[in-house]
Amino acid sequence: MPPKLGQHFLKDKRALERIAKLSTEKNPAAILEIGPGHGELTRKLLTANIPVTAIEFDAHLARGLSASLGNPGHLQVITGDVRAILADTVNKLPQPLHIIGNLPYYLSNFLFRQLATLNNPPTRCVFLVQYEVAERASAKEGRMNKLAASLLWWSTPKMDIVVPSRSFSPPPKVDSAVLVLDSHPRQAKKEDYFQIVRALFAQPRKTILNNLASGLSLPKSEVEKISSAINISPTLRPQDLSYNNILELARIIQT
């Protein structure tokens, strides 16, 4: 795997067992694993007798994966770029579906965006990502940010265990963490919700009054009325908002 793809193989047994437990609980009908690598996690997933589909970009790794695991009948290995085939693959798999993977930074950003667009979204995602990414993704009121707000539209993000860099081969420069995303019903139209998120976090250091007025081309007096209607101060900064605050804004300010 070329270094630019940032693949670091997880070797820590306890971390692998924890990820496998999170991935197989709640009785999924299928599991989609992104980037199985040498199959360390895949092997543990297969013991639950849940059908596993694994997407591996590296053709050499993909060719040897099934044989190295004993050619189990409930494992399907697909060689390809998940960025190109995720939606089609998900549509072919039964629900409830869990998506899991050890994600390099470049891929995590893509997946977070893509997951919000799926017609048949997973009921749970379990991702191993950089610690900083997991921290931002699971942020709550007081530390709200664009990533967390975006994920909250369709899921409840939670950071589980921290995985030190020494747990990987080769070791990355930073620690990682397990991020769990459990889906929940959408409470607002996608267009309305993400319009608000984009406007709020375009300039995170500015007040919601300035950001909404600028981003949505609204008079400041109108933003003040809307803020009053949902009992928040227009002088708050976006980081101080809760998911419910953003949701209420999306419901009032419709496209």
Q: In 10 A of CB 213, how many CB atoms? A: 20
Task: Measure the CA–CA gap between 156 and 173, rounded to whole angstroms.
Answer: 28
Residues 65/36, Cβ–Cβ less than 8 Å = yes
> DSSP code of 205?
T
Whether residue 5 has pLDDT greater than 80 = no
- Number of C-alpha atoms within 13 angstroms, CB side, residue 148? 25
For a pLDDT cut of 90, what percent of the chain falls above it? Answer: 93
Q: CA 3, 5, 9: angle at the middle one, nearest 5?
A: 80
For a pLDDT cut of 70, what percent of the chain falls above it? Answer: 97
Range from 94-98, 113-117, 237-241 carrying the lowest mean pLDDT = 113-117
Domains 9-183 and 190-253 share a fold: no
Span 172-210, pLDDT tens digits: 999 999 999 999 999 999 999 999 999 999 999 999 999
The CATH fold assigned to 190-253 is: Helicase, Ruva Protein; domain 3 (1.10.8)
Q: What is the mean pLDDT of residues 99-107?
A: 94
The top-level CATH class assigned to 9-183 is alpha beta
Query: Does an H or E element contain 126, and which?
Result: strand 124-130
Q: What is the pLDDT of residue 254?
A: 75
Output the pTM of the full model. Answer: 0.93
Task: Measure the CA–CA gap between 68 and 59, rounded to whole angstroms.
Answer: 14
Calculate the alpha carbon distances from 93 to 8, 38, 52, 89, 90 in Å: 27, 23, 10, 7, 5
Which sequence spans correspond to the domains of the chain?
Answer: 9-183, 190-253
